[in-house]
Chains A and B, each alone.
Chain A
Amino acid sequence: MGNEAIAMGAIAAGVNLVAGYPGTPSTEVLETVAKHRPQDTYVEWSINEKTAMEVGAGAAYTGARVMVTMKQVGLNVATDPLMSLEYIGVKGGMVVLVADDPGPISSQTEQDTRHFSRFSKLPCFDPSTVQEAYEMVQDAFEYSEKYRTPVFLRSTTRVSHGYASISVKDEAEYKHNKPEGFIKDTKRWVIFPKLSYQAHINIEARNVELSKVFSSYSKNLLLHEDSKVFPKKGIATGGFNYTYVSEALKALGDVKLLKVSTPHPFPEDLAVKFLKGLDEVICIEELDPVIERELIYIAGKYQLPVKIYGKLTLDVKNSGENSLDSVMANLTKFLGVQPPETAALTEEDKAQMPELPVRPPVLCAGCPHRASFYAVKQAMKGKKTLFAGDIGCYTMGNAMPLDMVDTCLCMGAGLGIAQGVDHIEPDTSCFAFVGDSTFFAAAIPGVINAVYNQANMTLVVLDNSTTAMTGHQPHPGTGQTMMGDVVNKVSIEAILKGIGLEFVETVNPLDYKKSVETVKAAAALPGVKAIIFKSPCIAIVKSDKCLSVNQDKCINCRKCIREIGCPALIIRDERVVIDYSLCTGCGLCSQICPVGAIGGEANE
């Protein structure tokens, strides 16, 4: 996997410390380092990306080689330390691994870290394959150390989550880095306007130099310079899209090609060489038109008579993920050729296709979040409410029939949103739902803010004792670290009481009646109240229980399906049955059934 290759590349580069926060599609990088780390390499899941960046900065000040990992929206959280760190610089090499998510497949935004690198002035490496990711992370450490700056390794989903057979170094070839240690020097490590002014001058000069250096970087490529078939046309691409283009060219023939592996600082000299002699260029890239804008700028600067097509001209779609098919369509149109026809299905066949089942992601069968949402929904029936959601599996509580997520913005935002609505609409009963990992990462300041500013709201912590959405990482509440240590658990209940909340109740959401009563009690009180629904994720505590529907008792009212929408409740031959391969025996449906027809082990 690409993320594993990045991890192994970092280990080969002698990384001393890795810190990060889980987020698809970046998570496996840190996990793989933890699994294969040499004894003296330190790894941690930090509580959020800002903290990870700061831990990384401290280590890099000592001369340690550091990698910090996150997804693209995580970079927003880490922006404050990173922007200043670029001015301060580092002693040990520091690679900031950010995984972007074209589509987006599992993210809130389609933001582009290549843009971010320009904004923050950090150099950026953009691998196109798993093999390149392995090599580039090692290159990135070298450049980082040489130029004393943190650098981005920007990956995208298809590189991070792509698999490939690759060649790797022998352990004997691995680098080993012995940090010199932190040496006090307030002129170097303490940011002040005077230092920042001088640093800014140095950074600008360095980036001009790097643009020249990158023009001869071995992974920035100028290919097919003497295309006979298309002598006046060119294709510019970078990152994973390079593989789409090279696959398409196998069918279409060679076209002059610029592959950009360092989108910032842009390899200007190489780009000029590419543009010279061409009439038309198409830019194939995902997310923002970064290469396209650079080429337009360079064409203007050098007065090159070349037309540049891409996202800005709407010749390439300006949102969503590209595919081999979309790139093939872009290129055949640009080159004026016909793609080869190889498909088994004709257009007529496709038109005859039956209507396909729609499968939005849903909460798993037996997920305790379903029970928590349902309890709040029933307790607040008929009242004016706001249900502010947050980031995690529980965002899927928005799906019908639960329909329990009115808002979702970013990590921890539900707390603030609930307060904002409360201040304008005091007659609305405002709830904020937050998972346990998100609570530690981003929700605590929001709770303090609510208490201090006298908001009326109910905080619902959905505590499933893991970071479920990203694949079950430990967090402060689980009592385990990524180094394998068992540590004291940080108690959510104690934090909330420490902040000054008087109503903090912990309930098992699978106890339906008690859950509803607790919600009603909380909602009736003024001020800030909290309910902690505690029940482990079904993926970490495997259940061998399974319920069944007693068909003699069942009146086929389908209340169970209508009310909770559990994937294990299905209709077969016009009757409700339980899919034995999905049911975990959580018992929520049996507590809802009006005639007690659902039972089995859980009731025994």
Chain B
Amino acid sequence: MSKNIILCGVGGQGTILASKLISSAAMNKGIPVKSAETIGMAQRGGSVFSHIRLGDDVDCPMIASGSADIIIGFEPGETVRMLPYLKKGGQVIVSSRPVMPVTAALAGSNYNGTEMLDYIRNKVEKLIVVDTEQACRELGSAKIVNLLLLGAAVNSGALGLTEEDIRQVILTRIPPKFHELNFKALQYVQ
């Protein structure tokens, strides 16, 4: 098995934790993992990404354009930015909630992500749009966007990992008081 996975979003949205959960779940199954992510200055409100590559025949932790099996997008605009990495027939999971950059607020722009989502809908066949705003309201927490999207990715089948694989790493890597909430989020998109 070999899988190229990209997570992308805005600094602070929880892409790094989601990427760690995927990597740990794969390692628990004995699948070699290589990955790379944005660390440092760009983390603060900037565009961030994680590349994860699963499988034996991998030398480089970075993914070439046109070769991602799945893109998990935490923000519509950031997902569009990463779309050139998607391979033909690849899967996209995207959160519908836009994050407005300070530059857009200053310019008085009304950026709301709609244009981005339209473009993704138009170009991507295998697409799951997750209404994370609605889901966060229902589950009563704003901090679970990563698990909602991860759950959708698992259930799409494109990740090559099962819900149980992810549950196992949640048990070992996340404090117990968040387990139930995380499990709910993981199952939210079926």
Q: How many whole Å from B36's CB to the nearest CB in chain A? A: 5
Contact with B along A467-499 (1 / 0, CB 8 A): 001100000000000000000000000000000
- Interface 9-residue window, one of B54-62, B158-166, B169-177, B179-187: B54-62
Q: Which residue of A lies closest to B86 (CB)?
A: A344
Is the pair B84, A356 in contact by a Cβ cutoff of 8 Å?
A: no
Residues of B5-22 contacting chain A, CB below 8 A: 10-12
Q: Which residue of B lies closest to A562 (CB)?
A: B106
Is the pair B42, A247 in contact by a Cβ cutoff of 8 Å?
A: no
Is the pair A345, B32 in contact by a Cβ cutoff of 8 Å?
A: no
The listed residue (A246, A359, A393, A580) touching B103 by CB distance below 8 A is A359
Residue A412 lies at the interface, judged by CB distance under 8 Å to chain B: no
Residues of A192-222 contacting chain B, CB below 8 A: none
Binding site for A on B (CB under 8 A): 10-12, 23, 27, 32-37, 39-47, 57, 59-67, 77, 80-81, 83-84, 86-90, 100-106, 108-112, 115-116, 119, 123-124, 142-143
Is the pair A469, B41 in contact by a Cβ cutoff of 8 Å?
A: yes
Contact with B along A541-582 (1 / 0, CB 8 A): 000000000000000001001100111011110100000111
Contacts of A362 in B (CB 8 A): 44-45, 102
Is the pair A359, B90 in contact by a Cβ cutoff of 8 Å?
A: no
A359 to B77, CA, bound (A): 11
Is the pair A356, B81 in contact by a Cβ cutoff of 8 Å?
A: yes
Is the pair B123, A360 in contact by a Cβ cutoff of 8 Å?
A: no
Chain A to chain B contacts (Cβ below 8 Å), 21 pairs: A158-B36, A161-B37, A164-B35, A242-B59, A243-B60, A247-B64, A323-B64, A324-B62, A342-B66, A342-B87, A344-B66, A345-B123, A352-B119, A354-B116, A357-B101, A359-B101, A362-B102, A396-B44, A561-B106, A562-B106, A567-B102
Task: Tell me whether chain A's interface is mostly helix, strand or loop, or mixed.
Answer: loop
Contacts of A25 in B (CB 8 A): 39-40
Contacts of A363 in B (CB 8 A): 44
Contacts of B45 in A (CB 8 A): 359-362, 364, 567
Q: How many whole Å from B188's CB to the nearest CB in chain A? A: 18
Contacts of A246 in B (CB 8 A): 59-60
Residues of A236-273 contacting chain B, CB below 8 A: 242-244, 246-247, 250
A129 to B62, CA, bound (A): 12
Is the pair A344, B83 in contact by a Cβ cutoff of 8 Å?
A: yes
Residues of A291-310 contacting chain B, CB below 8 A: none
A362 to B101, CA, bound (A): 10
The listed residue (B27, B112, B124) touching A344 by CB distance below 8 A is B124
Residue A409 lies at the interface, judged by CB distance under 8 Å to chain B: no
Contacts of B142 in A (CB 8 A): 580-581
Q: How many whole Å from B151's CB to the nearest CB in chain A? A: 19
The listed residue (A163, A352, A357, A566) touching B61 by CB distance below 8 A is A163
Given contacts A246-B60, A344-B88, A562-B106, contact A105 B119 (CB under 8 A): no
Is the pair A400, B32 in contact by a Cβ cutoff of 8 Å?
A: no
Q: Which residue of A lies closest to B92 (CB)?
A: A344
Is the pair A325, B33 in contact by a Cβ cutoff of 8 Å?
A: no
Is the pair B67, A342 in contact by a Cβ cutoff of 8 Å?
A: yes
Contacts of B61 in A (CB 8 A): 158, 162-164, 243
Contacts of B62 in A (CB 8 A): 158, 244, 323-324
Q: How many whole Å from A350's CB to the nearest CB in chain B? A: 6
Contact with B along A344-376 (1 / 0, CB 8 A): 110001101110111111111000000000000
Is the pair A561, B105 in contact by a Cβ cutoff of 8 Å?
A: yes
Residue A24 lies at the interface, judged by CB distance under 8 Å to chain B: yes
Is the pair B88, A357 in contact by a Cβ cutoff of 8 Å?
A: no
Residues of A17-50 contacting chain B, CB below 8 A: 24-25
Is the pair B33, A163 in contact by a Cβ cutoff of 8 Å?
A: yes
Q: How many whole Å from A403's CB to the nearest CB in chain B? A: 11
Residue A165 lies at the interface, judged by CB distance under 8 Å to chain B: yes
Contacts of A361 in B (CB 8 A): 11, 41-46
Is the pair B103, A357 in contact by a Cβ cutoff of 8 Å?
A: yes
Contacts of B111 in A (CB 8 A): 357
Given contacts A325-B65, A349-B123, contact A356 B41 (CB under 8 A): no
The listed residue (A242, A357, A400, A571) touching B77 by CB distance below 8 A is A357
A359 to B103, CA, bound (A): 7
Residue A341 lies at the interface, judged by CB distance under 8 Å to chain B: yes
Contacts of B34 in A (CB 8 A): 130, 162-165
Q: Which residue of A lies closest to B143 (CB)?
A: A581
Is the pair A24, B27 in contact by a Cβ cutoff of 8 Å?
A: no
A358 to B103, CA, bound (A): 7
Q: Which residue of B lies closest to A363 (CB)?
A: B44
A246 to B57, CA, bound (A): 11
The listed residue (B11, B36, B80, B109) touching A354 by CB distance below 8 A is B80
Contacts of B36 in A (CB 8 A): 158, 161-163
Contacts of A400 in B (CB 8 A): 103, 106
Given contacts A163-B33, A567-B45, contact A24 B100 (CB under 8 A): no
Contacts of B80 in A (CB 8 A): 353-354, 356
Is the pair A358, B66 in contact by a Cβ cutoff of 8 Å?
A: no
Q: How many whole Å from A542's CB to the nearest CB in chain B? A: 12
Is the pair B64, A565 in contact by a Cβ cutoff of 8 Å?
A: no
Contacts of B27 in A (CB 8 A): 165
Given contacts A25-B39, A357-B111, A362-B102, contact A324 B64 (CB under 8 A): yes
The listed residue (B44, B81, B143) touching A364 by CB distance below 8 A is B44
Closest 3 CB pairs of A and B: A343-B66, A243-B60, A324-B64
A352 to B142, CA, bound (A): 33
Q: A24-B40, A163-B37, A243-B60 are in contact. List 13 more A-B contacts (CB 8 A).
A: A24-B41, A106-B40, A106-B41, A328-B64, A343-B65, A357-B77, A361-B41, A361-B45, A364-B45, A469-B41, A561-B105, A561-B106, A581-B143
Contacts of A312 in B (CB 8 A): none
Residue A399 lies at the interface, judged by CB distance under 8 Å to chain B: yes
Given contacts A247-B59, A356-B81, contact A344 B44 (CB under 8 A): no
